[in-house]
């Protein structure tokens, strides 16, 4: 065989090997249903959409929203944080100094038990709930590794996270719907973030070995197959970052720019996961913002855009989750919420799609 023919034969064999290898990797992922089977809940947003701040209204608003999620096929709820911005969303004896707002935060000051109410409703409706721990008053923790005080900050964050997790297990462990944990801190560099994630994930596993631990990487995650395999995290729900039109390290506020990247981005995520045993979900943003207020002023997206996100992401992940419910999806019979027209339009369009 001459050199040209030998090179052609080698090239053909490499092509066949690559095709088989990619096919095997793709086969490892059970493609998701083309529906939002999971939904993120921002506890602070409940009081923002409720008609008033009374406990009665907040409870009705919370229970009605869980029922509405279940009505469109959502089975998994992810509560984003147990505390945030100086407020606890379940009653607790925990107190800590919040760096973000520079004051002591007390769990005893909880205005309304969002966690307990959602778990009760989810028990009744046979749903599963992931409980977020919160950011512990140090929101930029996993973005400031090079700060001289980072090691000490990380140590404090882990200890507070363990305290909150233990408290949640004690208070809510009896609930049949309590299915897992969400580590609220977002990351882009998994290897460095593992100094926080791994000890906390191991602690959560010690509280309940059958409860998986979930994280939601940013729009430009720095991850490898090796770093995933070593991680103690069980589920990675990748933010699709469409809402602000995110391109690497910049918000364009043009969702189409991010949508144009999605297929390639999620195909890469799926390749990272091959052979690691780690589950891969999508964190699909159902909102957008125009940039006139910077990274703020979000409003519900049009369903035609959300439909395209679903179609692009579904082949690459095991489950689609929508971020987030309150303020962006609203059924017409939401008696305890202030009417949000665009949220009602998105809900109605999505309901028609989900019930096809």
Indicate the burial class of 152 (C-beta count within 10 angstroms; 0-12, 13-18, 19 or more).
exposed
Q: For residue 183, count CB atoms less than 10 angstroms from its CB and return exposed for 0-12, middle for 13-18, buried for 19 or more.
A: buried
Altogether, the residues listed in the chain come to a count of: 356
Is 50 exceeded by the pLDDT of residue 10?
Answer: no
Return d(Cα 350, Cα 265) in angstroms, integer.
25
Model's pTM, two decimal places?
Answer: 0.91
Helix ranges restricted to H, 28-90: 43-49, 55-71
Give the pLDDT band (50/70/90) at residue 281: very high
Could you give the CA distance from residue 296 to residue 5 in angstroms, rounded to a whole number?
A: 60
- Cα(13)–Cα(311) distance, rounded to whole angstroms? 33
pLDDT interval class at 9 (50, 70, 90):
very low
CB 234 within 8 A of CB 212: yes
Task: List pLDDT tens digits, range 325-345.
Answer: 999 999 999 999 999 999 999
- Under 8 Å between Cβ of 119 and 110: no
């Amino acid at each position: 065989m001459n050199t040209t023919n030998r090179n052609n034969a080698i090239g053909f064999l490499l092509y066949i090997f690559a095709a088989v290898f990619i096919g095997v990797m793709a086969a490892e992922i059970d493609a998701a249903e083309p529906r939002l089977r999971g939904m993120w809940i921002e506890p602070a947003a409940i009081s923002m959409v409720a008609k008033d701040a009374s406990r009665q209204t907040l409870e009705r608003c919370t229970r009605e929203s869980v029922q509405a999620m279940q009505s469109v096929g959502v089975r998994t709820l992810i509560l984003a944080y147990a505390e945030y911005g100086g407020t606890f969303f379940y009653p607790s004896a925990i107190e800590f100094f919040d760096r973000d707002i520079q004051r002591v935060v007390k769990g005893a000051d909880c205005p309304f038990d969002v966690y307990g109410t959602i778990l009760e409703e989810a028990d009744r409706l046979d749903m599963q709930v992931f409980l977020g721990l919160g950011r512990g008053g140090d929101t930029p923790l996993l973005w400031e590794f090079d700060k001289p005080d980072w090691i000490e900050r990380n140590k404090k964050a882990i200890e507070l996270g363990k305290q909150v997790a233990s408290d949640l297990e004690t208070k809510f462990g009896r609930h049949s719907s309590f299915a897992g944990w969400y580590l609220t801190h977002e990351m882009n560099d998994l290897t460095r973030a593992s100094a926080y994630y791994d000890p906390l994930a191991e602690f959560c596993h010690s509280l309940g070995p059958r409860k998986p631990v979930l994280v939601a990487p940013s729009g430009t995650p720095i991850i490898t197959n090796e770093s995933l395999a070593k991680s103690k995290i069980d589920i990675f729900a990748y933010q699709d970052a469409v809402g602000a039109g995110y391109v690497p390290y910049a918000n364009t506020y043009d969702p189409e720019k991010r949508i144009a990247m999605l297929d390639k981005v999620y195909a890469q995520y799926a390749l990272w996961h091959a052979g690691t045993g780690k589950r891969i979900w999508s964190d699909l943003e159902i909102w957008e913002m125009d940039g006139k207020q910077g990274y703020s002023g979000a409003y519900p997206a049009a369903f035609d855009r959300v439909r395209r996100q679903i179609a692009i992401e579904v082949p690459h992940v095991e489950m689609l989750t929508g971020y987030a419910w309150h303020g962006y999806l609203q059924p017409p019979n939401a008696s305890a919420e202030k009417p949000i027209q665009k949220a009602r339009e998105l809900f109605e369009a999505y309901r028609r799609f989900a019930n096809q």
